[in-house]
Amino acid sequence: MSGQQSRDPRVERSRTAVLAAVVELLRERGLPSVTIEAVLSRSGVSRATLYRHWPTRRALLIDGLNRLMPPPLEVLDRGTVEEQLRFFVDSLAKQLSAHPWATVLPTLLDEARRDPEFATFMPAFLDARRSTLRTVTANAARRGELRDDIDSAVAIAQISGPLLYRRLVSDEPLDEYFCDQVATGFLATYRPM
Positions that interact with a second copy (CB under 8 A)? 28-30, 32-33, 103, 105-107, 109-110, 112-114, 119, 122-123, 126, 151, 153-154, 156-158, 160-166, 168-172, 178, 181-182, 184-186, 188-191
Q: Which is nearer to a second copy, 48 or 169 (CB)?
A: 169
Q: Which is nearer to a second copy, 54 or 186 (CB)?
A: 186
Let me know: does 156 contact 131? Beta carbons within 8 Å: no
Distance, CA of 136 to CA of 127 (rounded, Å) = 15
Q: How far is the CB of 79 from a second copy (least distance, A)?
A: 22
Q: Kindly state the greatest CA–CA separation across the chain.
A: 65
Distance, CA of 94 to CA of 45 (rounded, Å) = 35
With 0-12 / 13-18 / 19 or more C-beta atoms within 10 angstroms meaning exposed / middle / buried, residue 159 is buried
Q: How far is the CB of 128 from a second copy (least distance, A)?
A: 13
Q: Which is nearer to a second copy, 55 or 106 (CB)?
A: 106
71: alpha, beta or left, given left = phi > 0 and alpha = psi -120 to 50? Answer: beta
Q: How far is the CB of 55 from a second copy (least distance, A)?
A: 24
Q: Which is nearer to a second copy, 22 or 45 (CB)?
A: 22
